[in-house]
Structure formats: structure tokens, C-alpha cells
Structure 1
């Protein structure tokens, strides 16, 4: 195979640097299936991957990118065939295994989901890891009682970011009508409402963490940021309500007493999108291809590999909206 383009992250004089390079197939990690990458997407974790001491990349040099869609070029596993369109998200991609920010990727067959009917390769990465995480969060909440027929009060944090923006659209599409979006800046208000929020709220309107129980405001919270935001919200969840948690942009620590859990029966639902068993992934992607398909209305930018650093910087500075996909 000729050389091809990939973003490579390196340690250089105790700093972490990254950029587009020409690489060969021998620089890809081992795997059963070689895929010509069509699209990847840029997620919060990808931003962390190119920062020093962020704890995402385990060894250097590394090709980042925690997801991709593409077409099988060669396979040693009979479950797949040349020309088949596939999706890969999570597992060790872009961490200890070379990832999707590349024109080619090689992965274990056990990581691969066949592209479902109803989705194109591009649409698969409009969802990407962020959309997959949003779908998992909604599924977890619905499995714990959230139902549009009950007209619950919902809150989505990080509402204009990758996970939050997709979550707002799916929730709106499937019939939820009381969706509050937590926003940080005035210009995000109209963005959140265009994505499906029925009202917005700013962090300083949430109040402070003063009492172990506060007046219940929300039946279900889809939290994408963690930290102090999650801490303030837990005492405001209604009886038998739930909060899904999938991110840590606002911090790793939360502060809470046992009272919301033993007096109101509040549930905290951890959502992991990295190590979801492969046998459970197909059903989620099928939902995203059909009833939960919001790719035609998603706020999306498309960039080349060379343009990735600009998007990484926007995510780092909290200036990024919606989803950015990479055409590889």
C-alpha cells in the first residue's frame, strides 16, 4: 500500500505536538480488518488526546480519533467482506490503538458494527461517539421510567456540545415537550432552542449547593459535564427521578449527601460508550438509523484532516457548537 495521510500525536521535548503526516500501513495497530476511512468525528475526548498529561493516549506516537466509518478493504474475519460499510467507536481507538484520524484504519473484528440500513457513512459520523453516547443516555433514562406520555420535566446539560446537541434533537423528535437546556452564553440560547429545547437556563440560575435537598425542579437530567453542575442538580431531582452521567468537562468530583437517594429514590445512571459490548451496539445504531435519526437537522461542520487543529482549539476554549466531522 502507498503512503497515506494521518494525524500523528508525538511527544517532543516534553511537549505534545500533532499534525498531518504521511504514514504507512506498518504504522497502524494490529487487527483483523483494514478499513478505508470515509469519515471520522471530533469529540471532547479527541481534544484531550492531544493535550499533555490528559491521560487519553497511552503511548506515542499515536494516531488519534475515537471513531470512524468506512469501507472494508481487507479482512481475515469471515464475518466481514471486502466492500462492506462499517462503523467503529470506542474501545481502545485513538488511545492505545491507532484511531480514525487517518485515511486507513486497522482494527479487531470484535470492534466493528456493520453500517445499518438507513444511515450513510457520513451520517454515521454526524452521530459518531457523541451521538452514540447521547443515545445510550436516553436509553438509560427511559429504562428507568422516562416516557414522553408522562410529560416529564427534562434538563440537558452541555446542551450545545456534541452529546447535548444530539440528545436535544432526539428527545424532541421522539415526543418530549418539556426540555430545558443548560447554556453558558447568550448566543447559545437560540442554538439550543433550534435543536429542540423548549426553554433554557444559565448556571447561575440553578442556585447553590446549600441544602442536601432542594425544591424538585426536574424529573430527569441528562448530564454531560459532571462536577459542580451535577452536584447542584442532584438535590433538585424529583421523587423516583434519574440523572444519567457521561462526561466530566465541569470536573471529576461531585458533592452529595445520601438524602436525595434514600428520601426521593433518585437514581444516578453511569453511561459508558467506550466498552459497551459489541452485541448491544447494533440495536442502538438501528434506533439511530430509524426512529432516532436526526442527522438531517444536526448542526454539523465538515473539515479536512488539515483543519482539525482549529476545531480542537475551539473545543478546548469552549467555543465549539454541535458536531464536526472529518472527511478523510
Structure 2
């Protein structure tokens, strides 16, 4: 028997891509509301409570409202917003870090943010192993395709082909920072410097390391080997071998649900750059939601993913 899945916010970019990944899969039956019903709270509440799984692709406040509509004690939720990423009672949906069993048994799963996915995947295994300090003012530089900004930013970039680079989050205190700090286990908020480039999808997340200044820091090759061990056997997270001399985001990038990690080190071992490459709409959003849904439904983790 197919599990009933309701995507609340199915008309948005993330919701549409989740539906594409679930299309044609016999394991799931999508509950679909027409445009008028999507705006009706009663109709949404009925769909939410009739589903086995609900995936929220909504702004934060709307996601909280949707959760408040739940009266069924059997419905299970994946929230793609940032509303519950550090909330008590919610399991953080990064299986490679949180643990697959925790997600498989959870009733409430919060999908990670796109930038934090790269940041946490790079740092958490290294900090947890004691190879990098938790008490350190980390910096995260990142660029993303404009699709991560929602309909308004998509329209802005597609209407103005003269935009070459959009630096933002300049007031600091970005909403991704709490989950980046919490799920790595850091003592200080990282300084997060995000930007947008004129490509529809794709993302590069970088954490530069001044290893010689740190009270505890392993050599770059040890950091790389530790990441390889942490993600050994994963079909989704891959740790690249050394020798790459450039990383590119292409405007023609096809949808992909993998996460590629790099460790670049200076010859003298005094500095390193940790870099994650991913699709902000894939492992950074829709692909991660489907991965979590698969685990919660007891299905192969990579079913329906684009690897």
C-alpha cells in the first residue's frame, strides 16, 4: 500500500522539485490540492491530517502554523523551512551526521538549510574528533545560484542579466547561523558571508582555516582522511582526492543530489580550505527531503535521487 504524502507549499521551487523526484514512484501517493484549496486553511488541515507524511515547503511562520494544524497522532512531518532546525523535539535531517536510525524513527524532521549542509558536513566530523577546536571563530564564505532565494529573487535575476554578484546578509545574524553553530557544536557563532551568482542552481561553501593559529589542529591530509572515514560507504557524500586546482559553478548545471567535499592544504601545512560543492535545490533542499522521506518510510535511502 502506498504511503500518502502531502507537500504543503507544492507550488514553490522546493515543492516542485520534491514532486518531480517522487513522480512515478509506487511507494508514494501524492495528495494534491488545487490552487483555491491550497489557500484554504480547512482544506489544508484535512490534507495534512489525512497524510502519512507531510513535507512543509513554506516560509517559517507558515510552517509553524501548519504544524499547529496537526491533530493526528500518526502523521509524520519533514519541514524544509528553518523554523524547527534547532527546536526541541525535532530531529535534524542530515542523516550522515545525525544518524539514519534517528531519522528513520522520527515523527518530526527538520530539513537542513542549503548552506549549513555544506558547513556542517565539513566541520562536524572534524570538531567531533577533536581535530579542530570547537572554541574558534570560524568563517564561512559561500555562493549560491539564485533559485535559493525564492520566486522574487529568481524573477529579479532573470529580469536583470547585468547582475554579476549579489553579496547579502551584511547585517549578520543570518537565520542559518544557529543551526550551523548548534549542529557542529561550536562555542561561537560563525561569521557567515553568503552571496548569490547569476546561475540558477549550484552552491560552493568554504571554511578557511588558519591551522597554525589554532590551539588544536590536525594536518590537512589528516582532515581529509577523517572526512573520508566519516562518509565511508555513502552514495551521496563524496570526499575528493587532492589535486583539484579549481572548482566551477556552471549555469548549465543539471539537478543533482550529491555532496562533494574537498580539503585543500598549503604545502607547509599552516593553512587549509574546506570546501563543499552541492546543488542548493538538491542535497541543499529537495533531494535532502526525499532522502529523509525514504528513511522514514523504511525505503532505500537513495531511491528517486539524482546521483
For normalisation by structure 2, the TM-score amounts to 0.31
For normalisation by structure 1, the TM-score amounts to 0.29
Answer 1 or 2: which has greater strand percent: 1
